[in-house]
Structure 1
Amino acid sequence: MTDQSIYRRFQQSARTHADRIAIRSALGDLTYAGLEQSSRELGRALMALGIKRGDRIAIWGVNSQPWAEAGLGIQGAGATLVPIGTRLRGREAEGILNDAAARIVFCDEKFGDFSYVEALLERDIPSLETIVVLDGSGGDSGKVISLAALRARSAEVEEAALDRRIAEATGDDIVDIIFTSGTTGKPKGVPMTSEQSLIACEAQRNELTRFTPDDVFAITYPFAHNAGYRAGWQVAVLYGVRILPVSTFHPGDLLRMIEREGVTFLPTAPPVAQGIIDHPDRPNVNLNSVRIVATGGTTIPVRQVEELRDAFGPGTQVQTGYGLTETAGSVTSTMPEDGPAVVAKTVGRALSMLEVKIVGPDHKELPVGEVGEIVVKGPQVLKGYYNNPEATAAAFTKDGFFLTGDAGWVDEHGNYSITDRIKDMYLVGGFNCYPAEIEGMMQGIPGVARVAVIGVDDQRLGQVGRAFIVKSPGAELTEEDVIAWCRKEMANYKVPRSVRFLDALPLNATGKVAKVELRAMD
C-alpha cells in the first residue's frame, strides 16, 4: 500500500471512476465525482463546527446515500466515525455516545414509530453538541439541525483548509470505533486505524469479492455493522463499485432490484436468503447477473445452499464465512470450488493475512478435529478496546492471539467449523446477542428479582432469546409485560421471544446460573 489514509485512497478511486455511478438510491444517481464533492462539503462543514482530528462523530440511521456521504465527510475532516445500529434504542445509544464522548450525531428523524431525535434529546449525553437530521427537513432548532443547514456551514471553511486536514491523515489515525457487546454486559468499543481498515478492505476484495468497477453491490447488511460498513460500502468505494443501499428487507422488492439493476454481489443473512428462495415471484425473475451470494452469521442447512444455487443459476457462487468486529471483517471464507456440504457445515479457510488456530484452556494449540477456542492474529486485528484496558488484557493470549470466545474445530483441509459460543453469545438472524447485556437491562423491569437469558433454536432466525425470571415477592408480572418492556428499551433482535417464570434459578457450586440446566428445560 502506497497510501495508508482511507480517505485519500477513496479520493484516488473517486477521481479514477469520476463519471461512474457510486450510489443509486431513491434520491437518484450520485457519481463518484459527486460523492467526493459532497463528502468534502460535509468535511468543511464539520470543521466549521469546530471538529478537530480525532473527535468522535456518530451516525444512527438506516442504509442510505446520506449515511455514506456523512461517513466519508467525517473521515475527510479527520474525525472518528462511531456507527450505531438502527435497532438500538435510547438507553443503548446513550451508553455508546457517552463512552465515545461523541460531539455530533447524524441520525434519521424516525424509523417507524421510533424517533431518533427525541431519544437523543431525552438522554443525558454531556458531550453531544449537535444533532444533524439526515432525512427530511429536520426543523432546525437548538442543537438539532438539518443536513442542508450543516452543508451551508461549509462556506465558512476554505477548500485549502480541508486539503491540509486531509494531508495530515496517517495510517495510525483511528478512523472508526464500532461498539460490540461483551460478556460483561457493557458494549466495548473496537477502534480501527486507517491502515487496518485498508488492509481489511484489500483482503476482502482480493480474496472474497474480487470487485471490479463493473460490479453492482446490493448492501442488505446495516451500514452500522462491519458487514455493511467496512466489508460493505467502504470497500466498494475504493474499487469503483456501484452501491445500492437496502434499508428495509422485502423479498419481492429485492428480487426486482436484482433483475433491474443487474446486481452482481449479494451478501445476505440466512433469513433474507430464505425469503428470496421462498418468494412466489422468484422463478419469474432473472437472477443470472449475481456472481456471488454470501451468507453467514449462523449455521445454514445444506438444503439452503443447494436451493440458493438452484435459484441463482450455475454461474453463482454461494459463499459463507466467519468474521468479527474485532478483526475488521472476515477471518475465514469458503472458496468457489467448495461443495454445498462445505459451505453449509464449515466457515471455510483462513484468509492469507491472518493466523488462525484452535487452542485449549491453556492456550496451547490443539490437533486437527479437536474442539477448542478459535484465536486469531493479524495486522487488522484490534490492538485494544477503546478506553478499556481490563477488557483488552483479557482478550489476548500471551503470544498476541485474539481470543474470539467462539468454540470450534478445524479439519484436515483447513476448514473451520463453529460449534458453540464460549462467551455465551447467540445469534438472532445474524445479529450477536449477549445474554449478560440483555440480563443487565432486564434487571430494570419492575417485579424482576433475577433473570437469565439463553438462546433457543428458531427455524426462521437460527436462534432467539428465552428469558427465565424469578419474580420479586408479590409482583404480578406476565410474559406479555416483560416482552412489551423489552421492546421499548432494547433492539428488537435482543428482545426475548419467550419467558419462563421460575421459583429460583438453578445454580452451580460457585453460585453461577447453571445455564445447561435452563437449556434442558422445555
Structure 2
Amino acid sequence: MTLTVPAALDAAAERDPTGEAVADGDVRLTWAALRSRVRVFAGFLSSHGVGLGDRVAVCSPNTWHWVVAGLGVLYAGATLVPVSTRFTARETLDVLSRARVSGLVITGRFLGTSRLAALDSLPPLVVRVPVEGVEPPVPGVVEWSDVDGTCDAAAVTPDDVSDILFTSGTTGRSKGAMSAHRQALGVAAAWASCASLSAPDRYLVVNPFFHSFGYKAGILACVLTGATIVPQRVFDVVTTLQLIEQERITVLPGAPTVYQMLLDAPDRSRRDLSTLRLAVTGAATVPASLVARMHSDLGFDTVLTAYGLTEAVVATMSRPTDPLDVIAHFSGLPTAGMEIRLGAHDEILLRGPNVMLGYLDDPAATASAIDPAGWLHTGDVGHLSPDGHLRITDRLKDLYVTGGFNVYPAEVEQVLATHPAIVDSAVVGHPDPRLGEVGRAYIVPRPGVAVSAAEVLAYCKENLANYKVPRSVEFMSALPRNPSGKVLKRLLRDAPPDPASATPTTPVPPQERPHA
C-alpha cells in the first residue's frame, strides 16, 4: 500500500486521470485536475517558505477548496491542522497558537459570520476561501484566486507527522492527536475495504472535513479508491435529498440522526434514492428499527456500524454479511490491525498500528491515554461477544450511581429509542440529596407527535428496572452535539432544568428503592 498522502494522490491521478475526483456544484475536477490544483497550492506554500516540519491550519466548510488545500499542505510536506468551523474565535486562536502554525487557510463569510474578521491575531501566511462570495480585501491576506505556484511532491516519509487533529473537547480543553502518513492512510484503507469503496462510488461527505471521519474516512478513502468526493457544506435534509438524486450518490455515512431526519423528511418519497447502496453509522444507541427502515425506506443495500475516535479513527467495523440484530447492537469486529480488550470497569482498550503517535506537546496526557504496553484507554465502556464483536455500552464519565446502583445512560436511551413519539434522547445523571444521583431524560419528540413527560416515564417503568428509570424529563428541539454526532452531555449536565419542561417522577416505593 502507498504509505504517504502525496504518493497516494499521484497514484490516483496516474491510475484514472479522467475519472471524476470532486463534484461540488459547478466545480468538477478529475483526478488529474485535482492533482494539478494541489500542486499549485503546494507550490504557493513552498514559495512562502512552508515545507517539511511546518504546520498549516485549514478552517473552512466542506467544499472543493478544502480538498485542494488539505491535500496541498500534505503535498508540500507540511503537517495539516484541521480546525473546526464551529469553534469560537477564542478556541480557534488557542489551536493556532498551540500548533504554532505557519499558515492558515480560512473561510471568509460562512453562515453569515466572518471567521477571519473574528480573529485578532494571525499567522504569517493567510489564505481566504470565498465560500459565500467575494469580500473586500484584507491587508496581508491572500485571496484564493491569487494562489499560484507549482511543485512536485515533497520528500515526506511514512513516519512523518501528516496531521494533528484536535479533539472535540467534550471533557475539557481539546488535545491535538498526532498521526503519521502511514497511519492516516492505514485507517482510510481499512475503512474503504470494509465499505467495499471503489471508483464507481459517489460519496456524499456530510461529515465535516475537519473531523477524522470526513477527512480520513472521506477524502483519503476516496484518494485511495478513486471514488468521487461530493462535499456538502452543512447538513440540511432538503439539500441532502437533492444531492442524492442529482449526483447519483451511492455512499452516505453519518450519525444516526442524519438517517432519522432523512426518513422523517416530508418530500423524501418524491426523491429518487435508488442509487444508495451503503450507509455507515455508529453510536452507543443505533435502534434496530432504524437500521431496518434504512434498508426498507431509504433503500440502502448495506448498513454498517463502526466505532472509532480521534486517537485511533477506525477501531471496529461491521461486515456486510452481519445480520441486522448484530449491526444494530454491535459496532463490528476489529479492523486496521487493531487489538481490543476490556480493562477496569469494562473500559475499551485499543492497541494497533494506527493508534495516535501522541498528543501535541502534552506528554502527561499522552502517558495517561496510552499505557506502557501500548494500550489506548478510550474512556468508553463496552462488551465483547464470544465471537469478538464489540458493543459500546457507554462512556465511563457518563455512568452515574443512584442509591448504590450503576446506571448506564445508553441502556436507558436504547429503550427510549423504541418509543414511537421520540426521535432522539440523552440521559444524564444529576445530583440528588437522597440517592446521590438520579437520571434526567432529555427528549426530542418526533415532529408533529405529542408526548408528555408522564408518558415517557411510564414507558421507561414498563421496560426498565426501577432504579434505571429517569426521575425527570425535559423536552428539547435538538440535542447539543459535536461534529461527529456525539451528544455533548457536559452541556446538559451544566444546564439548569427548565421548570416548564422538567417533570419529576412519582416517589419510588420503599420496596423498590435501590440500595447499596
Task: Using structure 2 for the length normalisation, give the TM-score.
Answer: 0.77
Q: How many residues align?
A: 426
Taking the aligned partners of 2:62 and 2:221, their CA distance within structure 1 comes to 15
Taking the aligned partners of 2:495 and 2:356, their CA distance within structure 1 comes to 37
Alignment-derived partner of residue 198 in structure 1: 185
Provide the aligned C-alpha RMSD in A: 3.0
Alignment-derived partner of residue 212 in structure 2: 226
1:23-422 mapped onto 2 (5 Å cutoff): 23-120=22-119, 122=120, 124=121, 128-135=123-130, 136-149=133-146, 151-152=147-148, 154=149, 159=150, 162-163=151-152, 166-181=153-168, 185-206=172-193, 208-313=194-299, 316-327=301-312, 329-351=313-335, 353-360=337-344, 372-422=346-396
Alignment-derived partner of residue 20 in structure 1: 19
Structure 2 vs 1, CA of residues 455 and 108 (structure 1 numbering), >3 Å: closer, same or farther?
farther
Structure 2 vs 1, CA of residues 455 and 76 (structure 1 numbering), >3 Å: closer, same or farther?
farther
**SS of equivalent residue, structure 1 residue 320:** strand
**SS of equivalent residue, structure 2 residue 327:** helix
Q: Which has the higher contact order (CA 8 A, sep 6+)?
A: 1
Q: Which runs of 5+ in 1 are unaligned?
A: 361-370, 436-451, 462-485, 503-519
Q: Is the 8 A contact 2:295 2:301 kept in 1?
A: yes
User: Which amino acid in the other structure matches residue 112 of structure 1?
Assistant: L
Structure 2 vs 1, CA of residues 184 and 292 (structure 1 numbering), >3 Å: closer, same or farther?
closer
Alignment-derived partner of residue 433 in structure 2: none
Alignment-derived partner of residue 509 in structure 2: none
Q: Is the 8 A contact 1:211 1:239 kept in 2?
A: yes
1:444-459 mapped onto 2 (5 Å cutoff): 457-459=442-444
1:294-324 per-residue CA deviation (whole Å, 9 max, x = no partner) reads 12244121111111111133x6111111111
- 1:133 to partner: Cα distance: 0.9
Taking the aligned partners of 2:79 and 2:90, their CA distance within structure 1 comes to 22
- 1:143 to partner: Cα distance: 2.6
1:177-224 per-residue CA deviation (whole Å, 9 max, x = no partner) reads 000145772211111111111211211112x22111111000010000
Structure 2 vs 1, CA of residues 332 and 263 (structure 1 numbering), >3 Å: closer, same or farther?
same
Taking the aligned partners of 2:137 and 2:217, their CA distance within structure 1 comes to 34
Structure 2 vs 1, CA of residues 55 and 456 (structure 1 numbering), >3 Å: closer, same or farther?
farther
**SS of equivalent residue, structure 2 residue 377:** strand
Of stretches 415-424 and 236-245 in structure 1, the one that deviates more from structure 2 is 415-424
**SS of equivalent residue, structure 2 residue 245:** helix
- 1:289 to partner: Cα distance: 1.5
Identity over aligned pairs, percent:
32
Task: Using structure 1 for the length normalisation, give the TM-score.
Answer: 0.76
Structure 2 vs 1, CA of residues 312 and 183 (structure 1 numbering), >3 Å: closer, same or farther?
closer
- 1:144 to partner: Cα distance: 1.8
1:86-130 per-residue CA deviation (whole Å, 9 max, x = no partner) reads 11111111111111011211111122232101122x2x45xx113
Alignment-derived partner of residue 445 in structure 1: none
Structure 2 vs 1, CA of residues 176 and 30 (structure 1 numbering), >3 Å: closer, same or farther?
same
**SS of equivalent residue, structure 1 residue 405:** strand
Taking the aligned partners of 2:108 and 2:394, their CA distance within structure 1 comes to 39
Alignment-derived partner of residue 483 in structure 1: none
1:482-497 mapped onto 2 (5 Å cutoff): 496=491
Q: Is the 8 A contact 1:60 1:86 kept in 2?
A: yes
- 1:138 to partner: Cα distance: 4.6
- 1:172 to partner: Cα distance: 1.3
Q: Is the 8 A contact 1:139 1:145 kept in 2?
A: no
Taking the aligned partners of 1:111 and 1:492, their CA distance within structure 2 comes to 23
User: Which amino acid in the other structure matches residue 342 of structure 1?
Assistant: V
**SS of equivalent residue, structure 1 residue 178:** strand
Structure 2 vs 1, CA of residues 492 and 147 (structure 1 numbering), >3 Å: closer, same or farther?
farther
